[in-house]
Amino acid sequence: MLSITRRVGERIVIGDDIVLHVQEVSGSTVRIGIEAPKAMPVYREEIWAAVKEENAAAASAAKDLPSGPLKPPAS
Amino acid sequence: MSLTVESTRFGTLEIEPEAVLSFPRGLIGLGGSRYALLSTEPDSPFSWLHSVEDPGLALPVTRPWGFFPGYEVLLSDAEAASLGISGEAPTDVWVTVRATERVEDFTVNLRAPIIVIAGATGPEAFQVINDAPGADVRVPLFAAGADVAAA
């Protein structure tokens, strides 16, 4: 992994389209501004991983979903 | 002219082009840019979001409000701005279903709903991160207190 040391107010450019701004450092917290193209979504890693896992689990469903006595409440 | 998909689950599917949703960002971790919504059983609350590019890729989905009447989708300003959908009401909202052996154990992902907007050249869909309190990734569909996601 590439590691780069930056100061508050400095930036990192990835390719031609992605810019990271180091906005603020406070204790163990760092605030980062991100400019990225619309087609390049940005996620907090733990949320991305959790959603990825749920999507993969959903996509593993068999064709015949079990049916049961439970129905959704009438909306 | 309809599209033909040789689905690994459902066999030959004829899909009308109007039924195809464009996913400019794909599904998180799964990718894909075009999916169709299939209703395989008329009375089921579940539909399938089926890739028209990958015959083996399909996810069961449901509309959240039948189960969670108070469900809300709250996008951060940054998310709405980056999607370019500020102020635009979605035409439809779906959540993915983790289908287990028993329907009683099904869960849905209220944290990352799929919102559908009209789009300039046809319907566009985005899996977004919902900031509403209590909107978790694995919420029991048939929990007694099904208003867990109500904000």
* pLDDT 10s digits, A12-58: 999 999 999 999 999 999 999 999 987 788 899 999 999 999 999 99
Tell me, yes or no, if A25 comes closer than 8 A to chain B by beta carbon: no
CB contact under 8 A, B99 and A66: yes
Q: Where does residue A4 rank: exposed (0-12), middle (13-18), buried (19+ CB within 10 A)?
A: exposed
Tell me, yes or no, if A5 comes closer than 8 A to chain B by beta carbon: no
A72 to chain B nearest CA, in Å?
6
The residue among A63, A57, A15 whose CA lies nearest residue A39 is A15
In the 8-state DSSP scheme, what is residue A72?
Answer: P
Residues 107-136 of B with CB under 8 A from A: 109, 111-112, 127, 129
With cut-offs at 50, 70 and 90, classify the pLDDT of residue A68.
low
- Residues in A touching B112 (Cβ below 8 Å): 47, 51, 54-55
With cut-offs at 50, 70 and 90, classify the pLDDT of residue A73.
low
In the 8-state DSSP scheme, what is residue B30?
Answer: T
Residue, of B79 and B30, whose pLDDT is higher: B30
Whole-angstrom distance, CA of residue A64 vs CA of residue A58:
13
ipTM of the modeled complex: 0.88
Tell me, yes or no, if A45 comes closer than 8 A to chain B by beta carbon: no
Tell me, yes or no, if B103 comes closer than 8 A to chain A by beta carbon: yes
Tell me, yes or no, if A7 comes closer than 8 A to chain B by beta carbon: no
Alpha helices in chain B (DSSP H): 77-83
